[in-house]
Amino acid sequence: MRFDILTLFPDFFTSPLSSGLLGKALANHIAAVHLTNPRDFTTDKHHRVDDEPYGGGVGMLMKPEPIFAAVESLPTLPRRQVLLMTPQGQPMTQPLFQELATSWDQLVVICGHYEGVDERVLNVVTREVSLGDFVLTCGEIPALALLNGVIRLLPGTVGKADSLKFESFEDGLLDYPQYTRPAEFRGWHVPDVLRSGNHEAIARWRRQQQFQRTQNRRPDLWKLWQNRE
């Protein structure tokens, strides 16, 4: 799968793209990430990528010309999405990551800056995506989150593929509590059922814990799950 990241700060991605499972996935050619700087497509002597907004206001906007030129310089795979990282976009969720990982061959990710981008940039964008209902200093942070969330779902990234099936949000519920050795730590004990060897009882306990945890911690998700059922 090909990722094209349009960013004014390519160095932001250097360490994350060479670390952990993400670095291994790229080294094994499960995915390829290409970084493109819109500043390289400016035509003025100062290489300006931003300007003042028409009508006045605080801050600067990213100009449309360098962004369009950068996007149009990229190769185009048959199944391509052009994503803009913006607080106004569709919130990132596990179902979104699953769709992006399975339905597309190429994701072009535009990282916004300053007060945002010129509205005309939306003419080259196919989807707006948000990390959440808050504002950050740059689009690189949500872009990296999206990269991580999608690439880890690609076949071969995670050693045990079955582990992806039993995570928070995979079926609309939060994950169940998990424990490892030692069986007792500072007076806190691993639940007896997990040490019983009774796999049916363990499965029932885990499912009940998912129900309880989702109800207590994310009543919004619990309501959606009930309505779905």
CATH number of domain containing 213: 1.10.1270.20
186 DSSP β-pair partners = none
Q: Do residues 138 and 182 both lie within one domain? A: no
- Of 119, 151, 183, the one marking the end of a domain is 151
Overall pTM surpassing 0.95 (yes/no): no
Q: Do residues 21 and 117 both lie within one domain? A: yes
For residue 6, give every residue at least 6 positions away whose Cβ sits within 8 Å of its Cβ, in sequence order, or none: 36, 37, 38, 67, 70, 71, 108, 109, 110, 111
Q: Do residues 105 and 210 both lie within one domain? A: no
Q: Find out whether the peptide bond into 182 is cis, omega within 30 degrees of 0.
A: yes
Q: Do residues 147 and 209 both lie within one domain? A: no
Tell me what pLDDT residue 57 has: 87
Residue 90 within a domain: yes
Q: Do residues 141 and 209 both lie within one domain? A: no
Residue 161 within a domain: no
Per the structure, the count of domains in the chain is 2
Q: Do residues 106 and 183 both lie within one domain? A: no
Q: Do residues 23 and 72 both lie within one domain? A: yes
Low-confidence ranges of the chain (pLDDT < 50): none
Tell me what pLDDT residue 164 has: 55
- Of 121, 151, 181, the one marking the end of a domain is 151
- CATH number of the CATH domain containing 122: 3.40.1280.10
Tell me what pLDDT residue 169 has: 67
**Beta strand pairing call for 80-91 and 127-130:** parallel
For residue 111, give every residue at least 6 positions away whose Cβ sits within 8 Å of its Cβ, in sequence order, or none: 5, 6, 7, 8, 9, 85, 138, 139, 140, 143
Q: Do residues 140 and 175 both lie within one domain? A: no
190-214 pLDDT, tens per residue?
A: 999 999 999 999 999 999 999 999 9
Residue 160 within a domain: no
Residue 157 within a domain: no
Q: Do residues 29 and 142 both lie within one domain? A: yes
Tell me what pLDDT residue 36 has: 98
Give the domain range for residue 224: 166-228
> Could you tell me which of 32, 38, 7, 30 has the C-alpha nearest to residue 107?
32
Tell me what pLDDT residue 160 has: 56
Angle, alpha carbons 55-57-63 (nearest 5°): 75
Q: Do residues 130 and 17 both lie within one domain? A: yes
> Rounded to an integer, what distance in angstroms lies between the CA atom of residue 16 and that of residue 144?
8
**Beta strand pairing call for 106-111 and 80-91:** parallel
Give the relative orientation of helices 20-27 and 140-151 as an angle to the nearest 10 degrees: 70
Residue 142 within a domain: yes
